[in-house]
Every structure is written in C-alpha cells, then in structure tokens.
Amino acid sequence: MEKSKRSFGLLLVLVFFHGVMVMRSNGYEGEEGWGEGEGGRGKGWFMMKDWRQVIKSEGGEMRVVISPRGRIIEKPMHIGFLTMEPKTLFVPQYLDSGLLIFIRQGEATLGVICKDKFGERRLKGGDIYWIPAGSVFYLLNTGIGQRLHVICSIDPSQSLGFETFQPFYIGGGPSSVLAGFDTDTLTSAFNVSQPELQQMMMSQFRGPIVHITERAPTMWTSFLGLREEEKHKHFKKLLEMKQGSSQNKQYDSSSSWRNIVRSILDLTVEKNKGSGSSECEDSYNIYDRKHDFQNDYGWSVALDSEDYEPLKNSGVGVYLVNLTAGSMMAPHMNPTATEYGIVLAGSGEIQIVFPNGTSAMNMRVSVGDVFWIPRYFAFCQIASRTAPFEFVGFTTSAYKNRPQFLVGSNSLLRTLNLTSLAMAFGVDEVKMRRLIEAQQEAVILPTAAVAPPHQGETGFDPFDLTNGKV
C-alpha cells in the first residue's frame, strides 16, 4: 500500500515535469516572430516556398506547400496541389486533416460519406468542396483526355502532428488500414471466405492514384461499376470497421494516435450519431457566383459560410481576384483573417508592410507562387502590364472578412475627421483633402505607372510534372 502510494507520487512528479517541458517547448516555438523563420530576414518571408511531394503514383502526384510557423500565424494552413492523369482514381481514404478543395481544371466525381450516407458529387472547374478530417472520400478523374488539377487548403488543426497530413487508405491492398488485421478477424468481420479476402487484400498496390482502364479491370473498376446502393453497402462495411475516428473530432494531440488506433481496432458497430456537421453538401461553384466587387480594372469574389454552409465547419473562407493588366488591389488590411494566396494566371507584385512602416516584402510573383499575408498587415497586389493577374486564396475565417482599405474612394481615411487627420500627417486641411480625395476609384485601381512591365521569369508551377525541383 505504502509502496504503491510512493510510486503514484513519483508518477505525479514525472507527469508534472513532463508538463513543464511541453509548455517550455511550446513557449519557445511561440517566441518565433516574423523574420526569424527559415530564410532569416529575407524579403521573401511571406512567400511559401517550402514544399514536399507527398504522393507520387502511376496516375498522378500531390505536392504540399508547408505552412509558415511562428507567433503571428493564428491558424496554419498547408496548400496542396493534386494532379491526376485522365482516367485515374484517387483511392478511398480518410485524412487526419480537413481539406477544402478547389477544382482548378478538369472534371471529377467525388465519392463521400457523410452521416453514414454515401453520395457522389460531380465537380467541374471552379467548384469548392469541404471534406472534414476523418471523412472517407475518393476522387475519380472523369474529364475525357484531360488532367485534373486540384488546389486545396489543408487544415492541420486536428492532425496527428506529422509534417503535412496523414492519409489512411481504405483501398489499396497491402497499404489499406484493413490489411493490418489478422485474416481470421477480417474473414469473420466481412463474412467472406479466405480466398475472397485474399483477392481483395493482396492485389498489387500501385500507389494511391491508379489508372482505370477497360483493358485491365482492377478491383476499383469493378467497385466503381457498382450501383450506388451497392457502393453504399460496401463502403458502409468499410466505414463500420473504422467507426469512431470520424466522430472524435476533437483530438488532443497526445492521445489522438491512440484514439485512432483504438477506433480502428474497435470492431463494434456503433451507429454514427453525427451532429449534422458532416452531412453531404453540394459543391459550390465560385466562377458562377456574382462578383462581389467589379469595375473596369478587375473583380473579386469572396465566399464565406453565409454563401456556402460547410465553410462554417471548415473555418476557412475562399476568395478569387482577377485584376486587368496594370491594375492594383488598393493597399488594405484584413482585420480578422490571415490570407493565403495562389497565383493562377499572369504575374504581378505583392507588397507587404511591417507594423512599424517598413517594407516587409516587395516581390514579383507568377503562376504557381504561394504567398501569405498575416492579419492586420497592410498590403497590395499589382498586376503586371502585360496580362490579367488572377489569384485564388483561402482565408482563416469562414465569416465575412471585411477588408479595410487605406487608399481609394472607400478608404477609411475618408471617414476619419479631416482636421485630426491633417494634424496627424502634419499638413494643412487643404493638402489633406487633396490627398485623400484625388483617387476616385475604389478597391481596384488603375496604376499602369507602377505596374511591373513584363512577365519576368516564370515561377515554380506545382502542377508542372516535369518540374522536379525548385
């Protein structure tokens, strides 16, 4: 009795010290400010250049641009670029991270399970779809003779803490999460014979993105050929074997691995009592949407949870901007969200300013470049003189992000008291009025004089499969 008390005490002490150490290391990470990340104080700190090839398969590949880290990032976000060849399938799987996908080019069928219901969604260019962490899905490239390009935001907040994200393949023979169970467990769980099981689990794994050809029907071709109810049944069976992992949304990082393992091991079939948060929703097409802002110099669209309900669960917003050649998104700042942007077409310049009024970045960007802008930081984007500058992006808030413009006819300077403003700038009111009223356009301004003259060198295109390294 006495002895067990003492060892309990020792355990407490150990737990306490462990806790202190964890807090210290977190504290240290938190000390990292801007300019201290990799690359030091280089002007390109707001460019996301650190990427990994996370999937390389016969039918395509996926690259992930890693989120910056540090004190001023309130919500890290990786950006994924998925390329699939014609007639390929991204096998059924679930991830430890939430995905907001944007179809950049091509057509696809997305199979998803939400609230125990199986559904297929046909997706085309401009479509947005939210796949919660732990939710099973597959993606089939249905575009005839066309590559499928998908850009996605990857939210690691529920992840197991690996560098990018962790997929759990349901299909894929020996790589399936089912393959680790012993044969007897599986034959009785599936109620099939050993040869039947073997055929399913021992088929050769050719990577997570596989070709589907009529010539050589694979297990997936036959699966995809099933009627919807059969697919549902089949899928449900698989889902039952991983019950729990999609319900336990709030992983605490230390026990999440155990939870996942336990939930996979837990073969008891428990009804999935979803709270409605993962019901299958339709996709939303951002190209079809009316522009939120438009003038002669460009347009912009921003999607929040009022427009597309699932964004509420994702905690992510989406925006799309198209500037005509030589135009500028006026200097502004986001009071509520960090913005991650990906250049889709053309080239331009991104200028970001530190809180102390010095330039933080002034960078030429082109197709495939990924940049980020911390909330509160003032910034602007300028299209080059030669072509329209198009970029898509994700914001870390699903609620209406009201950008505050510092210049232009809707500028916040115009709403302030002119007398006080003139005093603050140290000029008289006439000069002050002239300064804030000279620009008659708002949001997107014509600025050919400062626009970078030419395309410049092309950046790294994450969709370009021939481009192996940075």
Ligand X SMILES: *[C@@H]1O[C@H](CO)[C@@H](O)[C@H](O)[C@H]1NC(C)=O
Token pair belonging to 124? 């085309």
Q: Decide whether 358 or 466 has the Cβ nearer to ligand X.
A: 358
In the complex, minimum distance from the CB of residue 197 to ligand X, in angstroms, rounded to a whole number: 13
In the complex, minimum distance from the CB of residue 224 to ligand X, in angstroms, rounded to a whole number: 24
In the complex, minimum distance from the CB of residue 437 to ligand X, in angstroms, rounded to a whole number: 15
Which amino acid is present at 181?
A: F
Q: Decide whether 17 or 287 has the Cβ nearer to ligand X.
A: 287
Q: Decide whether 274 or 388 has the Cβ nearer to ligand X.
A: 388
In the complex, minimum distance from the CB of residue 41 to ligand X, in angstroms, rounded to a whole number: 6
Token pair belonging to 325? 């050649």
Q: Decide whether 191 or 268 has the Cβ nearer to ligand X.
A: 191
In the complex, minimum distance from the CB of residue 176 to ligand X, in angstroms, rounded to a whole number: 21
11 burial type by CB count under 10 A (0-12 exposed, 13-18 middle, 19+ buried): exposed
How far, rounded to the nearest angstrom, does the alpha carbon of residue 132 sit from its chain's CA centroid? 11
Q: Decide whether 222 or 417 has the Cβ nearer to ligand X.
A: 417
In the complex, minimum distance from the CB of residue 249 to ligand X, in angstroms, rounded to a whole number: 31
Token pair belonging to 357? 């009024």
Q: Decide whether 325 or 406 has the Cβ nearer to ligand X.
A: 325
Q: How far apart are CA 171 and CA 132, in angstroms?
A: 19
Q: Decide whether 181 or 399 has the Cβ nearer to ligand X.
A: 181
Report the interface residues with ligand X, using CB under 6 A.
34-35, 41, 191, 322, 324, 354, 356, 358, 388, 390, 417, 419-420
Which of these, 260, 312, 319, 236, lies nearest to 281 by C-alpha position? 312
Q: Decide whether 90 or 102 has the Cβ nearer to ligand X.
A: 102
In the complex, minimum distance from the CB of residue 324 to ligand X, in angstroms, rounded to a whole number: 5
Helices (H) and strands (E) in the chain, counts: 10, 25
Query: What is the per-residue burial (b if ≥16 Cβ within 10 Å, else e) of 263-273?
Result: bbeeeeeeebe
Q: Decide whether 322 or 347 has the Cβ nearer to ligand X.
A: 322
In the complex, minimum distance from the CB of residue 398 to ligand X, in angstroms, rounded to a whole number: 23
- What is the sign of the dihedral through the CA atoms of 229, 230, 233 and 239? negative
Token pair belonging to 468? 């192996």
Give yes or no for a contact between 32 and 76, defined as CB atoms under 8 angstroms apart: no
In the complex, minimum distance from the CB of residue 266 to ligand X, in angstroms, rounded to a whole number: 18
In the complex, minimum distance from the CB of residue 392 to ligand X, in angstroms, rounded to a whole number: 9
In the complex, minimum distance from the CB of residue 295 to ligand X, in angstroms, rounded to a whole number: 12
Can you name the residues that pair with 349 across neighbouring β-strands? 364, 382
Which amino acid is present at 349?
A: E
User: Sheet containing 284-285: which strands, arranged edge to edge?
Assistant: 51-57, 60-65, 78-84, 148-155, 98-105, 127-131, 284-285
In the complex, minimum distance from the CB of residue 374 to ligand X, in angstroms, rounded to a whole number: 12
Q: Decide whether 191 or 440 has the Cβ nearer to ligand X.
A: 191
How many C-beta neighbours within 10 Å does residue 435 have? 15
| DSSP secondary structure string for all residues of 92-118 | EEEESSEEEEEEEES-EEEEEEETTEE
Which of these, 82, 285, 69, 258, lies nearest to 163 by C-alpha position? 69
How many C-beta neighbours within 10 Å does residue 32 have? 15
Q: Specify the 3-state DSSP secondary structure of 91.
A: strand
Supply the angle between the helices 429-437 and 418-425 in degrees, to the nearest 10: 100
**Distance set, CA 74 to CA 70, 151, 347, 385, 400 (Å):** 9, 22, 28, 35, 17
Q: Decide whether 127 or 390 has the Cβ nearer to ligand X.
A: 390
Query: What is the per-residue burial (b if ≥16 Cβ within 10 Å, else e) of 329-361?
Result: bbbbbbebbbbbbbbbebbbbbbbbeeeeeebb
Q: How far apart are CA 320 and CA 383, in angstroms?
A: 14
Q: Decide whether 119 or 388 has the Cβ nearer to ligand X.
A: 388
